[in-house]
Amino acid sequence: MLEVGDEPLAGLDRDRLFDLYRRMLLIRRFEEQAARAYQQKRILGFCHLYIGQEAMAVGAIASLRDTDPVITAYREHGQALARGMDPDGVMAELFGKATGCSKGIGGSMHLASKEHQFWGGYGIVGGHVPLGAGAAFAARYRKDDGVSLTFLGDGATNQGAFFESLAMAQLWRLPAVFLIENNGYGMGTSVARASFLTDLAKRADGVGMAHHTFDGHDVVEVFRNVSAAVDHARSGKGPVLLQGWTYRYRGHSMSDPAKYRPEGELETERTDRDGLTLAEGHLREAFGVTDEALAEAQAAAKERAKAAFVAADEAPEPDVSTLYDHTWAE
């Protein structure tokens, strides 16, 4: 079973926690700019916002080494920013511009960066989970001591590819962490309507894999629990299936008004469990961070997100002659 530490604030000091807070802020403000750009038809096609789930990406990615591979699905703007990818490159990719991190030909669901070991960005629900197992296999094969982190939604745990990946990862004791972001819904369908078992971490019991569930609203708890799982996997004890409880404030994608939620649910989540508010509370209580310091960080995130919007808007479209470039490895 997973050994999770009980250090106050998971051992995070003031600067480290403040840095995580800044990253969460940047994601929130960035996604608000993306929503605006979508409404103005500067972003076309699909666009799945991460607002409300910021603590998950930021706390989880902070527990990795820079060289550990990260694999995600299509709700991945937050993970890309948490990984330290340039907001200008991410926003330009959403706009389909040549300066985008995938040269403007991937779009919102296909963010990637070799430099950041960030392998995107996949639109087939559950289809990316085998890639997470594969990246862990590669790390083992190369003996580079890496651990792969795969983000997936609650809906993806109903896919065959998910079960097959768990079975193989556990059989081979791969250094992999699979992290279910349980936000309560797969498109408009609640977890309870999609699965008899609603505690999705228990899916791991079917293959004998270690599993663990935690509060994904609080960045400190995400960091604490994902760090424990990453240490477990890196030390050769085998893969872990994690489940963090989280919530998305917006609809599934920009075209979803999210009318399927029970009345008051969103308001309760936003008031009682908002990740930014919880992180501010920790910073104030444990380290005496002032309102001025928080306001300064908030203003900086707003500026940075706005600058990414402007840069993406002004960037050129990819030249049609580049359409088939960057598709195959040399």
Ligand X SMILES: Cc1ncc(C[n+]2csc(CCOP(=O)(O)OP(=O)(O)O)c2C)c(N)n1
Interface residues with ligand X (CB under 6 A)? 75, 123-125, 153-156, 183, 185-187, 252
Instruction: Decide if residue 153 touches Mg ion (CB under 5 A).
Output: yes
The partner in contact with residue 137, picked from Mg ion, ligand X, none with C-beta cut-offs of 5 to 8 angstroms by kind, is none
- Lookup: tokens for 222: 């995400």
Angle of helix 219-234 relative to helix 14-39, nearest 10 degrees, comes to 110
In the complex with ligand X, the residue whose CB is nearer, 44 or 323, is: 44
Three-state secondary-structure class, residue 316: coil
When CB distances are held under 5 to 8 angstroms depending on the partner's kind, the choice from ligand X, Mg ion, none that residue 123 binds is ligand X
Cβ of residue 112: shortest distance to Mg ion, in angstroms?
A: 22
- Which residue's CB atom is positioned nearest to Mg ion? 153
Cβ of residue 229: shortest distance to Mg ion, in angstroms?
20
Judge contact between 125 and 155, C-beta under 8 A.
yes
The tokens describing 58, both together, are 């930021």
Taking each helix axis from N to C end, the angle separating 87-95 and 291-314, rounded to the nearest 10 degrees, works out to 40
Minimum Å gap between C-beta 80 and ligand X is 15
CB of 194 vs ligand X, minimal distance in Å = 8
In the complex, the smallest distance separating the C-beta of residue 33 from ligand X, rounded to whole angstroms, is 20
The nearer residue to ligand X, 124 or 299, going by C-beta atoms, is 124
Q: Alpha carbon 7 to chain centroid distance? A: 24
150 backbone dihedrals φ, ψ, rounded to 5° = -115, 120
Binding mask 106-145 for Mg ion (x = CB under 5 A): ----------------------------------------
Q: Please, how many CA atoms are within 13 Å of residue 303, restricted to the half-sphere of its CB?
A: 7
Residue 323 contact among ligand X, Mg ion, none, beta carbon within 5 to 8 Å by kind:
none
Find all residues with CB under 8 Å of 268, minimum gap 6, and list them. none
For residue 15 the two structure tokens come to 């600067």
Give which of Mg ion, ligand X, none residue 165 binds (C-beta under 5 to 8 Å, depending on kind).
none
